[in-house]
Amino acid sequence: MYLRSRAKPVLIVDGGERRQDSVRHAFERIDRRSEVVVIHDAARPLVTDALIRRTIDAAFATGAAIAALRASDTVKRADAAGRIAETLPRDRIYLAQTPQAFRVDVLRHALTIRADATDEAALAEQAGHPVQLVEGDPRNVKITTPEDLELAERLLDTPEGVPYPPAGLRIGNGYDLHRLVEGRPLVLGGVTIPFDKGLLGHSDGDVICHAITDAILGAAGAGDIGRHFPDTDAAWKDADSVDLLRRAAAIVAAAGYTVVNVDVVVVAQRPKLSPHADAIRARVAAAIGCDPLQVSVKGKTNEGVDSVGAGEAIAAHAVALLARHR
């Protein structure tokens, strides 16, 4: 009854024996003017507008797209006896989510495949269509157990789109500074910014991600960036700091906390940050599993004072508010 009361038209169709049969029934009822079809599991009620838009945009560009999370744990393949048969390279392992989006012609072709499949992306693959991976959302949880339902209830957003902060708030702050040198790209908040110098560091030198990483880890009492990703470890040489931030967010979530908001001040004489602020907010938000509205990024100069003011370095201060899962 609630769906029928919405302003947009809603069609309810009979399901099929298999998932793909249900999708086929619905596909047969779509508007003929449709260009892209989005398929989403009702068991994932916390999907965001931003994730849906990313998936649709990728489908328009490539024909088929699926939201997915990069695996952060080491992945093992077992044999029939339950012994490890193979260790898989986790940098190529992704955990599929929905939404999945397809151009109409691609989905029509995919649905002609009669073999069983766990999702429409698998059908598109079997039909010979490339499927683009889109950065998923850690909070886009699938509810299959009572524990999943409890987690979803803890992550529910307020009407403004910002998680309601329950009891157990924790605040952390982070700081980072790197020297500017020639011959390296300037990466801030996961965004490569056109500039004649870049930040020198063991990883990519991204001071925004490093400061936020320390802030959220500190708020959760989970150490700091050096403890988890030491610069003495070759594994983190030239590492993507957005990936380090994503890993830190997983550590914080495992410790029982949700990120409520993050506020960052970048101190740089140049270049100007404002043209790139929205892109940085989006990248950071995707990494820590929140909405860009929960991320603030501000740029300041140092009025010509010290190495930052002389344009020899860039610094960042970050404050993060966490809330313990209810």
pLDDT tens-digit profile of 164-213? Answer: 444 478 999 999 999 999 999 999 999 999 999 999 988 889 999 999 99
Question: For position 6, what pLDDT does the model report?
Answer: 60
- Stretch 307-315: mean pLDDT: 92
Domains for the chain: give ranges and CATH numbers. 3-145 (3.90.550.10), 169-324 (3.30.1330.50)
pLDDT tens-digit profile of 1-51? Answer: 445 556 677 888 999 999 999 999 999 999 989 999 999 999 999 899 999
- Stretch 252-280: mean pLDDT: 93
- Stretch 84-105: mean pLDDT: 92
pLDDT tens-digit profile of 208-243? Answer: 999 999 999 999 999 999 899 888 888 888 889 999
In SS3 terms, the chain reads as: CCHHHCCCCCCCCCCCCCHHHHHHHHHCCCCCCCCEEEECCCCCCCCCHHHHHHHHHHHHHHCEEEEEEECCCCEEEECCCCCEEEEECHHHCEEEEEEEEEEHHHHHHHCCCCCCCCCHHHHHHHCCCCCEEEECCCCCCCCCCHHHHHHHHHHCECCCCCECCCCCEEEEEEEEEEEEECCCCEEECCEEECCCCEECCCCCCCHHHHHHHHHHHHHCCCCCHHHHCCCCCHHHCCCCHHHHHHHHHHHHHHCCEEEEEEEEEEECCCCCCHHHHHHHHHHHHHHHCCCHHHEEEEEECCCCCHHHHCCCEEEEEEEEEEEECC
Question: For position 165, what pLDDT does the model report?
Answer: 47
Average confidence score pLDDT of the chain? 89
- Stretch 291-313: mean pLDDT: 92
